[in-house]
A and B are shown apart, each in its own frame.
Chain A
Amino acid sequence: SQGLSSAKAAEILVRDGPNLLTPPKATPEIVKFLKQMIGGFSILLWIGVVFSWISFGIQLAQGAESPFDNLYLGVVLALVVILTGIFAYYQEAKSTNIMASFSKMIPQQALVIRDGEKKELPADQLVVGDVVEIKGGDKIPADIRLIFAQGCKVDNSSLTGESEPQSRSCDFTHENPLETRNIAFYSTTCVEGTATGIVINTGDRTIIGRIASLTSGVGNEKTPIAIEIEHFVYLVAGVAVSIGVLFFIISVSMRYKILDSIIFLIGIIVANVPEGLLATVTVSLSLTAKRMAKKNCLVKNLEAVETLGSTSIICSDKTGTLTQNRMTVAHLWFDNQIYSADTSEDQTTQPFDQSSPSWTALSKIVTLCNRAEFRPGQENLPIMKRVVVGDASETALLKFAEVILGDVMNIRAQKKKVAEIPFNSTNKFQLSIHETDDPNDKRFLLVMKGAPERILERCSTIMINGKEEPLDSEKAEAFQTAYMELGGMGERVLGFCHLYLPENEFPDTYLFDTDSMNFPTSNLCFVGLLSMIDPPRSTVPDAVSKCRSAGIKVIMVTGDHPITAKAIAKSVGIISATSETVEDIAKRLNIPVEQVNREATAAVVNGMELKDMSSQQLDEILCNHSEIVFARTSPQQKLIIVEGCQRQGAVVAVTGDGVNDSPALKKADIGIAMGIAGSDAAKNAADMVLLDDNFASIVTGVEEGRLIFDNLKKTIAYTLTKNIAELCPFLIYIITSIPLPIGTITILFIDLGTDIIPSVALAYEKAESDIMNRRPRNKRKDRLVNEQLAVYSYLQIGALALGAFVTYFTVYAEQGFLPSTLLGVRVNWENNAINDFEDSYGQEWTKYQRTYLQWTGYTAFFVSITIQQVADLIIRKTRRNSIFQQGLFRNKVVWVGIFSQIGIALILTYGLGHVTALNFTPLRFQYWFVAVPFAILIWVYDEVRKLFIRRYPGSK
């Protein structure tokens, strides 16, 4: 066929659009942006802005002398909100972009016939009517109707959940497009064979496109960290508003003017709101996200970083995630003995005993009776990484042989194949006849492999230690035992036999005819069994045991057979070596399953049972068993399992790759899509993408997530502490009428200037103890900001306001105003009409001179807070351990933070000290050291506290 012409295709492409799934409708950018503008503390700050402008308006109307101060304050506050909003928006957009770039990294190609020529085209260029060719290993590029098929099998598991490949032909067999055999679906894979088909649907109109659009119906839940931050915002906002209102009332009843009271209110709000904190949290999360991306966890949604850390149940796929997703020879049986093969990812040798002549015979069959071939040009790649054309079992055998014997292709070439019967489902064997490479031996060798019981039927002898012995009932029994044992391990078992054809009957000119079978296919010599399994990844058992010690329950959810599933679960430790299922107990005690009255820790639940279960029954299973495997489940049942886990109050992580997994991925607290095997729909629905499809990467992710939660606690504690130091000046100013110790603008310089880098630096802090030996946090009890943290920060370490006040009084005293003179001076101090204000030494001050002194006071207060925040930063490095246990210099970034903090303070004081609007003045150098004793005191106090915490753990 000629296929479409390029011009026609282009025309249809314009009409139908590219062959892509439309990603779920994203929130409009402007909405996202506005959300950042009004989310969190922004509302409080906007209130501050409005109040500033209102008081500006009132002052302007009253013709007051300097109404513009309030206008500027309002503008600055608005700028703060807008800038932090833009920053948060930018951060979020950046992390989304990582995802976008990722999905573009692997463009899918399709082999299309256009203008009568075969062309490789990006799959998104396909249009309805295109003729495409598909071969084993390809992803189906669109919904196609087959017009030619040869041994074509497709893996529809991502669509229907059926894990067995299904054969496809050109015959129309069913009305339902999902059932008929002549349609292959977009995003499913062709496992073997070749086919040619005509594209009938593209993009969103494909079956999978329709399912994907349904997925967007499952709502997104709030992430645990979002809940925690909301909780924290409410807490701080509550404190801010209540203190603000309380002091508004106090100041009004103290006969301050309403206007002044409003200005105080703004100051209190600004002092209470950690303006920079949410930006800091975002930065910390994105730093962690970056770190996780390096460990193959690509996080789409920043908040998911922490969700992973609070995960308490992981529902994991088996194939590809826990296993290597390739069949590998695991066991051999010959000479009446079972041998184990190495199943690790990078095998280079096989250690089992290869001296027996039986093995030599078996290896010949394995090599010759195999149609799989390496793609050429891969000689330099490790054997396990080479691409093979052929089905999974044959590939496994080919690689197995290649590892042991080397250059299989050459061996085959030397033993020329003269006839072959490929495997089919009726005779369940594969046969080939070869010449030998021994010039003295003119016999043909007939080799056969297939289902063990079928092979055994065709044998009359069995090879033991290289000698053919008659196959008596005792030997047949031994075979049965081995077969059952290997099958019981969930492995796919193949039997192998051979026969040297007698030279006289089959001379080398003999013409073999596979249709008439003019050669013997019975009374063969049985040689051995090989069993294969998709082996667990070597890192997984360790990762599972890590999960266990971290209190995370790992549940396997697979479409595979229960026996295989259980075998893999046992080998990776999801079902531990000592625990038994109800069935195991029954079998051991030799009683029916119903009579087992002891609770089993492990359970293997079949998808068929699950179908008939009520949600209470499911809850019971989830509650009562610590080790659960769900086998033969469909992707839809995955959703039910996830919901069941969530009913237990667990934070559930779910892995998935298929399109039908997407609802479960969305429903899960954190959906983890497979980067290699995963469909785009799954990746879209997921919060995280595992770039290497490896379960172990999830565990590293969990570790990072827990670490960031701990570190965010530290960051918040660090930030909250200075709130008191910023708030006290206002409260004391209102009550005792001293000159204002610190200005609103100055506070903003602390919150958004000196404190930002140090608080981010805490995100780099290493874990204090093995965080993977802790249970996952209880999302209802272990809050990000709890009462203890807030109280300790506010009421105890908050006493660092003291040091700042001492500095403030020192500056005023040394310039002429002794502390006693300062009390109650506010009204005269701020009076523009008094230009000969007397100090403690009888000197007289103009208004500007006083104001300048006030700014010096601001600067001194600011500097003291900065100095004490250095101590605060150091104590916040740990929550239980002594700083000396944690190491003062291990986290270099903290030191960057400390130097930046002091550097910024120096620049503000001496560099910008002459810019009037900023209210900084160059400060005498000695004032930098007034607060140092207080900083040291904070450190010592906290070390003592931590000592008590370590001595008496658990006390409140």
Chain B
Amino acid sequence: MATLNEKKTCSERMENFRRFVWNPETKLFMGRTLINWVWISLYYLAFYVVMSGLFALSIYCLMRTVNPYEPDYQDQLKSPGVTLRPDVYGDRGLQIYYNVSDNKTWEGLVTTLQTFLTAYTPAAQHLNINCTSDTYFFQDAFDGPNKTKLSCKFTSDMLQNCSGITDPTFGFPEGNPCFIIKMNRVSTSSREACSLLYKQGDEPRLLEVDYYPVNGTFNLHYFPYYGKKSQPSYSNPLVAVKFLNITRNVEHRIVCKVIGAGITFDNVHDPYEGKVEFKFKIED
């Protein structure tokens, strides 16, 4: 083995390496002739071009087979998620803390709501139609413009006291703030009725709140959602909640569940599936 472990000096190693990079006697560059390198490079170039082509072809075939209107599967979207506005996240999920007497603590929250509701102005909703029926709005044909389906109008004024129109500060300075509950869009042919229920703390109990629209329900005519391509102007229906008589300087843990057929909220891993949990505290 002795022969293999011969110690080489550093300069010898460098010399060997130089010789490997360019050997003037055999005209080898890194162990191959230049022309050989060219062929090899061309081969790899061709190889990767073909591979990329194959990949492109596969993706093309994939795009041809997927349904352009609705996803083929909704394995992960068995039940829609629920979100809250304003959405301020702390270490462990939503945390909405503010001080009534300190403008700065709630102005940001109010701006979030105002920005959020700009999508619900009559101007933003002008493509959508007024719906009055209280049942599902099934559409088999593409009745809308450019081969789309129609969507029902949801404007911020439907949120009445929480619309930001009558009260631009959404009740924050008074200590009776508005929160807006939004259910995630999930493309499904039929979605059952939905309503809201509030609970708090370890012993669940209903809180004293006002719902807008009244009863805190999402009207059925906003469902089903046919997907972005069918309903490009669709906007999620909202429910606003105005808290009344909130004990101040106490952290409230609040869970807002969406009750409805096909909606589950017992997934231990997902705090936002079928429900939204948040902490809420108003200070003086």
Residues of A within 8 A of B83 (CB): 835-836, 844, 846
Chain A residue at minimal CB-CB distance from B87: A833
Check B206 for interface membership: any CB of A closer than 8 A. Answer: no
Residues of B within 8 A of A221 (CB): 1-2, 5
> Within the assembled complex, what's the spacing in Å between the Cα atoms of A844 and B81?
8
Segment touching B, from A390-398, A572-580, A810-818: A810-818
Give per-residue flags for B48-68: 1 if the beta carbon is below 8 A from chain A beta carbons, else 0. Answer: 000100110011001100100
B269 touches A916 (CB 8 A): yes
Residues of A within 8 A of B185 (CB): 838, 842-844
> Within the assembled complex, what's the spacing in Å between the Cα atoms of A462 and B221?
132
Residues of B within 8 A of A360 (CB): none
A845 touches B81 (CB 8 A): yes
Residues of B within 8 A of A806 (CB): 55, 58-59, 62
Cβ distance B213 to chain A, nearest Cβ, rounded Å: 20
Check B199 for interface membership: any CB of A closer than 8 A. Answer: no
Among B70, B186, B269, point to the contact of A844 (Cβ < 8 A): B186
B228 touches A649 (CB 8 A): no
B270 touches A647 (CB 8 A): no
Check B24 for interface membership: any CB of A closer than 8 A. Answer: no
A841 touches B228 (CB 8 A): yes
Residues of B within 8 A of A956 (CB): 32, 36
Residues of A816-869 contacting chain B, CB below 8 A:
816, 818-819, 832-833, 835-836, 838-850, 852-853, 856
A647 touches B3 (CB 8 A): yes
Check A669 for interface membership: any CB of B closer than 8 A. Answer: yes
Chain B residue at minimal CB-CB distance from A817: B71
Among B231, B267, B272, point to the contact of A835 (Cβ < 8 A): B272
Check A505 for interface membership: any CB of B closer than 8 A. Answer: no
> Within the assembled complex, what's the spacing in Å between the Cα atoms of A816 and B186?
10
Check B89 for interface membership: any CB of A closer than 8 A. Answer: yes
> Within the assembled complex, what's the spacing in Å between the Cα atoms of A815 and B75?
7
Contact A816:B71 (CB < 8 A) given known A848-B273, A853-B76: yes
> Within the assembled complex, what's the spacing in Å between the Cα atoms of A850 and B5?
55
Chain B residue at minimal CB-CB distance from A805: B55
Cβ distance A640 to chain B, nearest Cβ, rounded Å: 14
Residues of B within 8 A of A65 (CB): 91-92
B4 touches A779 (CB 8 A): yes
Give per-residue flags for B1-27: 1 if the beta carbon is below 8 A from chain A beta carbons, else 0. Answer: 111110000000000000000000000
> Within the assembled complex, what's the spacing in Å between the Cα atoms of A595 and B55?
76
Segment touching B, from A1-9, A41-49, A112-120, A795-803: A795-803
> Within the assembled complex, what's the spacing in Å between the Cα atoms of A818 and B63?
8
Contact A814:B55 (CB < 8 A) given known A841-B227, A848-B270, A956-B32: no
Among A649, A780, A849, point to the contact of B76 (Cβ < 8 A): A849
B73 touches A814 (CB 8 A): yes
Check B77 for interface membership: any CB of A closer than 8 A. Answer: yes
B1 touches A810 (CB 8 A): no
Chain B residue at minimal CB-CB distance from A810: B62
Residues of A111-151 contacting chain B, CB below 8 A:
none
A836 touches B81 (CB 8 A): yes
Among B4, B31, B236, point to the contact of A780 (Cβ < 8 A): B4
Check A444 for interface membership: any CB of B closer than 8 A. Answer: no
B62 touches A844 (CB 8 A): no
Chain A residue at minimal CB-CB distance from B92: A65
> Within the assembled complex, what's the spacing in Å between the Cα atoms of A909 and B5?
48
Residues of A within 8 A of B54 (CB): 802, 937
Cβ distance A788 to chain B, nearest Cβ, rounded Å: 11
Residues of A275-301 contacting chain B, CB below 8 A:
none
> Within the assembled complex, what's the spacing in Å between the Cα atoms of A832 and B31?
52
Among B3, B59, B231, B276, point to the contact of A646 (Cβ < 8 A): B3
Check A809 for interface membership: any CB of B closer than 8 A. Answer: yes
Residues of A218-248 contacting chain B, CB below 8 A:
221-222, 224, 227
Contact A842:B234 (CB < 8 A) given known A835-B83, A836-B83: yes
Check A63 for interface membership: any CB of B closer than 8 A. Answer: yes
Chain B residue at minimal CB-CB distance from A933: B58
Check B114 for interface membership: any CB of A closer than 8 A. Answer: no
Residues of A within 8 A of B87 (CB): 833, 835
Cβ distance B54 to chain A, nearest Cβ, rounded Å: 7
Residues of A within 8 A of B36 (CB): 956
> Within the assembled complex, what's the spacing in Å between the Cα atoms of A937 and B236?
47
Among A646, A799, A856, point to the contact of B1 (Cβ < 8 A): A646
B77 touches A845 (CB 8 A): yes
A847 touches B75 (CB 8 A): no
Check B126 for interface membership: any CB of A closer than 8 A. Answer: no
Give per-residue flags for B123-141: 1 if the beta carbon is below 8 A from chain A beta carbons, else 0. Answer: 0000000000000000000
> Within the assembled complex, what's the spacing in Å between the Cα atoms of A856 and B74?
12
Cβ distance A818 to chain B, nearest Cβ, rounded Å: 7
Check A210 for interface membership: any CB of B closer than 8 A. Answer: no
Chain A residue at minimal CB-CB distance from B186: A843
Residues of B within 8 A of A787 (CB): 31
Check B160 for interface membership: any CB of A closer than 8 A. Answer: no
Residues of A77-117 contacting chain B, CB below 8 A:
none
Check A467 for interface membership: any CB of B closer than 8 A. Answer: no
Check A35 for interface membership: any CB of B closer than 8 A. Answer: no
Cβ distance A669 to chain B, nearest Cβ, rounded Å: 6
Check B253 for interface membership: any CB of A closer than 8 A. Answer: no
> Within the assembled complex, what's the spacing in Å between the Cα atoms of A597 and B189?
101
A816 touches B184 (CB 8 A): no
Residues of B within 8 A of A646 (CB): 1-3
Chain B residue at minimal CB-CB distance from A307: B1
Residues of B167-186 contacting chain A, CB below 8 A:
182, 184-186
B51 touches A819 (CB 8 A): no
B32 touches A846 (CB 8 A): no
A841 touches B4 (CB 8 A): no
> Within the assembled complex, what's the spacing in Å between the Cα atoms of A840 and B75?
16
Check B47 for interface membership: any CB of A closer than 8 A. Answer: yes
Contact A849:B77 (CB < 8 A) given known A806-B62, A810-B62, A841-B70: yes
Most buried by B among A64, A780, A849, A856: A849
> Within the assembled complex, what's the spacing in Å between the Cα atoms of A725 and B201?
48
Chain A residue at minimal CB-CB distance from B55: A802
Cβ distance A927 to chain B, nearest Cβ, rounded Å: 10
Check B264 for interface membership: any CB of A closer than 8 A. Answer: no
Check B205 for interface membership: any CB of A closer than 8 A. Answer: no
A849 touches B55 (CB 8 A): no
Check B229 for interface membership: any CB of A closer than 8 A. Answer: yes
Among B4, B51, B66, B270, point to the contact of A849 (Cβ < 8 A): B270
Chain A residue at minimal CB-CB distance from B57: A806
Chain B residue at minimal CB-CB distance from A796: B47
> Within the assembled complex, what's the spacing in Å between the Cα atoms of A682 and B34?
54
Check B200 for interface membership: any CB of A closer than 8 A. Answer: no
Check B72 for interface membership: any CB of A closer than 8 A. Answer: yes
Residues of A within 8 A of B229 (CB): 841-842
> Within the assembled complex, what's the spacing in Å between the Cα atoms of A222 and B229?
68
Give per-residue flags for A901-938: 1 if the beta carbon is below 8 A from chain B beta carbons, else 0. Answer: 00000000000000010000000100000000000010
Most buried by A among B3, B58, B276: B58
B81 touches A835 (CB 8 A): yes
Residues of A516-558 contacting chain B, CB below 8 A:
none
Contact A813:B63 (CB < 8 A) given known A805-B55, A848-B269: yes
Q: Could you write out 24 A-B pairs with CB less than 8 Å apart?
A: A795-B44, A796-B47, A802-B58, A805-B55, A806-B62, A809-B59, A814-B72, A815-B73, A815-B74, A818-B63, A832-B89, A833-B89, A835-B184, A835-B272, A841-B187, A843-B77, A844-B81, A844-B184, A846-B272, A846-B273, A848-B267, A848-B269, A849-B270, A956-B36
Q: 3 nearest interchain CB pairs?
A: A842-B228, A846-B81, A844-B184
9 other A-B residue contacts (CB within 8 Å) besides A842-B185, A844-B185, A848-B273: A799-B51, A833-B87, A835-B81, A842-B228, A843-B184, A844-B81, A846-B81, A849-B76, A852-B269
